[in-house]
With several copies, the nearest count.
Chain A
Amino acid sequence: MKILYFAWLRERLNRAEEEVSPPDEIGTIAQLIDWLASRDEAFAHATQKRALIKAAVDAKLVGHDAPVRGASTVAFFPPMTGG
């Protein structure tokens, strides 16, 4: 599973993407965040305020309760500031 990071989340983690293989019990975005935080202190710190972390699964915007099993790309990013 490819993970993408954008904006200040990308900067704080010092990477734009990574490949991960979450265990089978990781079913939702919220669980994926918990799992990524458990193995990486920088990630845990950067995602402490969960309300500031938005997510997309395979280029579709989703909530933290969305399923991630079978996804090929999951993206995490701060609130958007376009326009």
Chain B
Amino acid sequence: MAVRVTTEAFDPGAELNAFLEASNGAGAAATFTGVVRSDPQDPISALTLECYPELAVNQLTAIVEQARHRFSLLAATIIHRYGTLAPGEPIVQVMTLSPHRQAAFEGAEFLMDYLKTDAPFWKQETGPQGTSWVQAKSEDDKAKARWE
């Protein structure tokens, strides 16, 4: 399955190995793993991701198809978690497979840039000051715009 939207924890290394297992002689795999960040100066105790799963699967599937075409990828996978996560837990992993490293890297960056702005997840941080919604970043819109 190229897209998985789940409340269950996933194992980044096991996912990478399963992805490579199916690589069939392709040469280059790029992986991005996003984990719950906690700045030591401004620590959080939890990150809660709200999700609209049906729309998320539709959006991520469309993004994966677009990336496969645009970068001639042999395979691409997105795993995205939602629910309440602790610092250090993996949130998202994208993996791309190509005969050449440039396409693998570009495909993974493209997937991440699109996913940040176009996938229906909403982050809420819980810290010493309470709970607050993470604001959408204009950098993320800019990162996405470079592919247009």
Contact = CB atoms under 8 A, between A and B. Distances in A.
Interface stretch (A2-10, A21-29, A35-43): A2-10
Nearest 10 A/B pairs, CB to CB = A82-B121, A79-B136, A7-B122, A83-B116, A59-B54, A82-B119, A59-B55, A81-B123, A83-B115, A81-B134
Interface residues of A, number: 17
B116 A78 contact: no
A83 B122 contact: no
A6 B50 contact: yes
Categorize the interface residue count of chain B.
Answer: 20 to 34
A81 B58 contact: no
Q: Label chain B's interface by main secondary structure.
A: mixed
Interface of B: 34, 49-50, 52, 54-56, 58-59, 80, 91-92, 101, 112, 115-124, 133-137, 140
B73 to A, nearest CB: 19
Given A79-B117, A81-B137, 12 more contacts: A6-B122, A8-B133, A60-B58, A77-B122, A80-B118, A80-B121, A81-B122, A82-B116, A82-B119, A82-B120, A83-B91, A83-B101
A82 B55 contact: no
A75 B55 contact: yes
Contacts of A81: 116, 121-123, 133-137
Nearest to B54: A59
B117 A7 contact: no
A59 B53 CA distance: 9
A61 B54 CA distance: 11
A33 interface: no
Nearest to B34: A83
Interface of A: 4, 6-8, 10, 56, 59-61, 75, 77-83
Contacts of A8: 122, 133
A75 to B, nearest CB: 6
B112 A83 contact: yes
A83 to B, nearest CB: 4
